[in-house]
């Protein structure tokens, strides 16, 4: 007779003991009590089903078999097996909800209780995390590896939120269907249950629609400009072949949907409307306001003016046909219709749209968007489904049943919840995984922003301002991966792992169980699991940031160091060499008073992790000297920037550059006393994609008083051509030992962006940093 333990819904201190290091479960279970001893899982282990329909546990069991490499013998209900049993037992305990489970490991038996298939599945996901990371390896398990030790434990676990989502944009870059399976595996191991599949956008239509074959014949392909920056890609030229892209066939999608369901994941397909739709209009221009023609843009477009005509009934018939096929393929409750970032310029000019506004008694184009979404919603609800859209669908009035996905902060979500609508939170600040996860100068190119692991972890999906009643409308949250800067799937993995782990814990674990230090320790093992599974992941949370603070009084510089992760040991060098396990250990901030190249790395168990932080501090004759500027700079730096001893990096917003918007630079430096000067070197940044150009000329002069200067030399710099990489230039002038107290630098701004540039004729930027005087 099987005796099921009665679990207690209270948490003792036991999980915090040293024993706890064997329990690296992410997301952290709602309740966990650790115990002494182990259960040996081996070919002798017998599975018992105490439930009527063993099919319910089949996917859980298959997973266990695949991963451990141990086939399971089956014992019938009637048999009374010996020790070493894994039992699947049903429960009607309502506290477990749709996805909860209970798991007890004792030396004799593993007992899993659940009420629904998702519970069995998640119990096995948790079991796997009780084993060493190698259990995640896709390699054939070695024959001698025929037993696994589970530490004893009691777990009662249910998710906090029902919508635990990850989004993937497959329009800006297309990922083959096998990558989608891998993405679903990644979601499942984090107990995430919604995959928001962003299937259409301006730069590509990725889903086969039988009734409109041109959507993929034309809309899935664009000209290949992959070797250029996303925001400076020239549109398709006449006669040029569109060769870059791809799409998913309906047969592929059916298999993906089935695979997702087997992993307790619901797919929410997104078909964008009324804007973000150039790829569709390239195929069917008759559904636009202007009639086209359109080509699929190979890169960034802003503002988003291409739009479906809201005055033309055939647009709606087209979209309904598309959605009918989409609903046939995707059985989930929610259909996402986009709704974001539509510029209504075309609607203002279109006679059909104007007639629609009049005939429907609408106030303006904002209400026309609301009409559009409401009309589509009627179609979706008539098929028994629910519409979800980005928070712009609030504008002009929300469709009666719509669910709102709040991305421009939380305001849209709060407003919708107050109108008794369901919401999913995904504010850019914490949930956009296309943002940098480490300091930009140590990271591959990303869209901008800064959302490190700890910031994701700090996210709280229920805004404080909501009442308990309103808060019930928050279904959960999700993270989004837009892929403008993600050309290959491995990079999508890098951007999502391990931030996905942080988001999973935000969405699954009880709020009060979320503790950064504890997560930071557990995530170390999670990274080893990614490694074993062959996933590309980021170690940015281990990257060392080196902060230097100049002190104008002592003329010294204070250096401090840190990592996001709390556990590693930081070691550093001051001579530019690579930090090793034997290098100086960082304990507390220290000061320096000579030129050094500081390099620092994080070490976990003697191994270097993450990126090495690097800072060059330059001590020179003008260090911390006063600087007077004739024309103001506009952004980023401070008044100290030019003489603070620090050099700017390739990242224009690293705080070390002064940005001048069309202004020239004229700076006069006061060295405090008459000084012999042998060379002057100034640094400039060029990043044409961000409209930043080198100066066209730089001129130096030296004087004994502030009004009389003697020329020390000048240099001209050619204006950048197309496709020049972002770079830093040092303009050095040797001065044959001139003497003076004052030094003047003039750097001439290119003024406006050159002819070849997308911003031609518009104000250009000049970025300047440290003026080094020797």
- Binding-site partner at residue 352 among ligand ACM, Zn ion, none, CB < 5 to 8 Å by type: Zn ion
Q: Rule CB under 5 A: is residue 357 a binding residue for Zn ion?
A: no
For residue 480, the minimal CB distance to ligand ACM (Å) is 7
Instruction: Indicate which residue of 340, 341, 401, 670 is catalytic.
Output: 341
Residue 553, classified by CB atoms within 10 Å of its CB into exposed (0-12), middle (13-18) or buried (19+), is exposed
**Residues touching Zn ion, count (CB under 5 A):** 6
Member of 135, 168, 353, 623 binding Zn ion (CB under 5 A): 353
Could you say which of 190, 198, 276, 421 is catalytic?
A: 276
Give φ, ψ of 199 to 5 degrees.
Answer: -90, -20
| Near Zn ion by CB under 5 A: residue from 25, 289, 335, 561 | 289
| Residue 174 interacting partner from Zn ion, ligand ACM, none (CB closer than 5 to 8 Å by kind) | none
Q: How far is the CB of 389 from Zn ion (least distance, A)?
A: 20
From the CB of 342, what's the least distance to ligand ACM, in Å? 10
Helical ranges in 129-196 per DSSP H: 177-189
353/424 with CB nearer Zn ion: 353
Peptide bond preceding 303 in cis form (omega within 30 of 0): yes
The item of Zn ion, ligand ACM, none sharing an interface with residue 341, based on CB under 5 to 8 Å by kind, is ligand ACM
| Nearest Cα to Cα of residue 445 among 644, 226, 295, 274 | 226
CA gap 573, 649 in Å, rounded: 20
Q: Which stretch binds Zn ion (CB under 5 A): 86-94, 111-119, 287-295, 478-486?
A: 287-295
Question: Which of the listed partners (Zn ion, ligand ACM, none) does 436 bind, with a CB threshold of 5 to 8 Å by partner kind?
Answer: none
User: Any idea what the Cα angle at residue 249 is, between residues 248 and 255, rounded to 5°?
Assistant: 90
Give the one entry of Zn ion, ligand ACM, none that residue 390 binds, where binding means its C-beta sits below a cut-off of 5 to 8 angstroms depending on kind: ligand ACM
When CB distances are held under 5 to 8 angstroms depending on the partner's kind, the choice from ligand ACM, Zn ion, none that residue 309 binds is Zn ion
| Distance between CA atoms of residues 635 and 511, nearest Å | 39
Smallest distance, Å, CB 496 to ligand ACM? 16
Whether residue 195 contacts residue 267, with contact meaning beta carbons closer than 8 Å, is answered with: yes
Neighbour-count burial of 760, counting CB atoms closer than 10 A to its CB (0-12 exposed, 13-18 middle, 19+ buried): exposed
Q: How far is the CB of 409 from ligand ACM (least distance, A)?
A: 12
Which residue lies nearer to ligand ACM by CB, 318 or 390?
Answer: 390
CA distances from 537 to 396, 431, 534, 570 (A): 42, 17, 9, 21
Q: Is 64 left (phi over 0), alpha (psi -120 to 50) or beta?
A: alpha
Q: Nearer Cβ to ligand ACM, position 390 or 694?
A: 390
When CB distances are held under 5 to 8 angstroms depending on the partner's kind, the choice from ligand ACM, Zn ion, none that residue 289 binds is Zn ion
Question: Residue 274 interacts with Zn ion (CB under 5 A)?
Answer: no
Residue 429 beta carbon to ligand ACM: minimum distance, rounded to whole angstroms: 12
Identify whether the C-beta of residue 763 lies closer than 8 Å to the C-beta of residue 661.
yes
Q: Does 218 bind Zn ion (CB under 5 A)?
A: no
CA-wise closest residue to 190 among 416, 10, 456, 412: 456
Does 281 bind Zn ion (CB under 5 A)? Our answer is no
Residues comprising the chain, all counted = 774
What lies within 8 Å, CB to CB, of 315 at 6+ separation is: 287, 308, 309
Closest to Zn ion by CB, 315 or 573:
315
Q: How far is the CB of 390 from ligand ACM (least distance, A)?
A: 5
75/311 Cα distance (integer angstroms): 66
Candidates 157, 201, 306, 505; catalytic one? 201
Question: What span, in angstroms and rounded, lies between the C-alpha atoms of 205 and 220?
Answer: 5
302-321: contacts with Zn ion (CB under 5 A): 309, 311
Element (H, E) at 320: helix 313-329
Catalytic residue at 341?
Answer: yes
Complex with Zn ion: residue 318 or 660, whichever CB lies closer: 318
Cβ closer to Zn ion: 305 or 714? 305
Q: How far is CA 16 from the centre of its chain?
A: 31
Among Zn ion, ligand ACM, none, the one that 407 touches (CB under a kind-dependent 5 to 8 A) is: ligand ACM
By C-beta, is 268 or 357 nearer to ligand ACM? 268
Structure-derived torsion over alpha carbons of residues 425, 429, 434, 438, reported in degrees to the nearest 10: -140
Q: For residues 481 and 548, which CB has a smaller minimum distance to ligand ACM in the complex? A: 481
Closest listed residue to residue 391, CA positions, set 380, 383, 399: 399
Report how far apart the first and last C-alpha atoms of the chain are (Å, whole number): 87
What residue is closest to ligand ACM based on CB?
340
Residue 353 binds which one of Zn ion, ligand ACM, none, with CB within 5 to 8 A depending on kind?
Zn ion
Q: Which residues bind ligand ACM (CB under 6 A)?
A: 340-341, 390, 407
Binding of Zn ion at residue 362 (CB under 5 A)?
no
CB of 338 to Zn ion, least distance (A): 18
Nearest distance from C-beta of residue 404 to ligand ACM, angstroms: 12
Between CA 412 and CA 403 the distance in angstroms is 11
**Residues annotated as part of the active site:** 201, 276, 341
Contacts to Zn ion by CB under 5 A: 289, 309, 311, 350, 352-353
């Amino acid at each position: 007779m099987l005796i099921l333990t009665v679990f207690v819904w209270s948490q003792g201190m036991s999980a915090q003991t040293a024993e706890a290091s064997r329990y690296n479960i992410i997301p952290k279970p709602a309740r966990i009590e650790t115990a002494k001893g182990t259960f040996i899982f081996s070919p002798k282990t017998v599975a018992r089903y105490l439930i009527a329909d063993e099919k319910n546990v089949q996917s859980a069991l298959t997973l266990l078999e695949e991963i451990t490499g141990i086939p399971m013998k089956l014992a019938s209900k009637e048999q009374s097996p010996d020790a070493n049993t894994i039992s699947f037992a049903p429960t009607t305990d309502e506290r477990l909800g749709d996805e909860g489970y209970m798991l007890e490991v004792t030396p004799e038996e593993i007992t899993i209780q659940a009420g629904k298939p998702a519970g069995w599945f998640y119990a096995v996901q948790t079991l796997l995390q009780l084993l060493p990371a190698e259990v995640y390896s896709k390699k054939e398990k070695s024959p001698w590896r025929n037993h696994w030790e589970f530490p004893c434990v009691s777990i009662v676990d249910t998710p906090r939120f029902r919508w635990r989502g990850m989004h993937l944009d497959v329009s800006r870059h297309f990922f083959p269907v096998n990558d989608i399976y891998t993405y679903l595996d990644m979601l499942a191991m984090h107990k995430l249950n919604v995959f928001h599949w962003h299937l259409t956008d301006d730069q590509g239509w990725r889903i086969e629609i039988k009734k409109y074959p041109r959507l993929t014949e034309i809309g899935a392909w664009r000209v290949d400009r992959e070797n250029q920056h996303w925001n400076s890609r020239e549109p398709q030229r006449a006669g040029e072949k569109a060769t870059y892209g791809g799409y998913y066939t309906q047969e592929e999608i059916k298999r993906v949907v089935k695979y997702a369901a087997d992993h307790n994941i619901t797919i929410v397909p997104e078909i964008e409307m009324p804007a973000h739709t150039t790829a569709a209009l390239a195929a069917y221009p008759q559904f636009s306001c202007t009639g086209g023609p359109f080509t699929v843009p190979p890169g960034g477009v802003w503002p988003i003016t291409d739009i479906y005509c809201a005055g033309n009934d055939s647009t709606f018939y087209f979209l309904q046909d598309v959605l009918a096929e989409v609903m046939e393929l995707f059985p989930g409750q929610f259909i996402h219709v986009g709704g974001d970032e539509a510029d209504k310029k075309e609607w203002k000019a279109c006679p059909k749209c104007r007639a629609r506004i009049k005939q429907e008694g609408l106030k303006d184009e904002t209400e026309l968007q609301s009409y559009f979404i409401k009309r589509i919603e009627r179609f979706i609800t008539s098929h028994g489904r629910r519409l979800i859209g980005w928070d712009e669908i609030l504008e002009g009035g929300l469709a009666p049943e719509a669910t709102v996905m709040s991305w421009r902060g939380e305001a849209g979500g709060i407003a919708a919840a107050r109108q008794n609508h369901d919401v999913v939170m995904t504010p850019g600040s914490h949930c956009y995984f296309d943002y940098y996860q480490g300091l930009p100068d140590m990271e591959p190119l990303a869209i901008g922003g800064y959302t490190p692991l700890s910031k994701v972890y700090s996210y709280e999906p229920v805004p404080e301002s909501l009442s308990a009643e309103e808060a019930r409308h928050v279904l959960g949250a999700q993270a989004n991966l837009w892929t403008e800067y993600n050309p290959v799937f491995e990079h999508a993995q890098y951007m999502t792992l391990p931030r996905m782990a942080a988001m999973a814990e935000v969405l699954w674990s009880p709020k009060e169980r979320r503790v950064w230090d504890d997560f930071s320790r557990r995530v170390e093992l999670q990274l080893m699991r990614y490694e074993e599974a062959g996933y590309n992941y980021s170690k940015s949370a281990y990257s060392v940031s080196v902060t230097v603070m100049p002190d104008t009084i002592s003329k010294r510089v204070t250096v401090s160091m840190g990592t996001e992760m709390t556990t590693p040991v930081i070691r550093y060098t001051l001579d530019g060499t690579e930090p090793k396990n034997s290098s100086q250990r960082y304990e507390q901030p220290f000061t320096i008073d000579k030129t050094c190249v500081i390099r620092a790395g994080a070490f976990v168990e003697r191994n270097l992790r993450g990126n090495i932080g690097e800072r060059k501090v330059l001590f020179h004759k003008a260090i911390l000297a006063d600087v007077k500027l004739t024309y103001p700079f506009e952004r980023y730096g401070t008044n100290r920037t030019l003489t603070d001893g620090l050099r700017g990096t390739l990242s224009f917003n690293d705080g070390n550059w002064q940005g001048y918007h069309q202004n020239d630079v004229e700076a006069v430096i006061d060295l405090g006393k008459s000084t012999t000067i042998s060379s002057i070197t100034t640094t400039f940044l060029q990043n044409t994609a961000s409209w930043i150009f080198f100066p066209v000329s730089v001129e130096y002069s030296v004087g004994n008083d502030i009004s009389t200067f003697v020329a020390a030399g000048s240099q001209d710099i050619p204006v950048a051509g197309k496709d020049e990489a972002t770079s830093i230039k040092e303009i050095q002038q040797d001065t044959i030992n001139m003497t003076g107290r004052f030094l003047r630098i003039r750097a001439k701004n290119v003024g406006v962006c050159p002819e070849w540039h997308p911003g031609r004729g518009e104000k250009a930027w000049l970025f300047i940093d440290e003026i080094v005087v020797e």
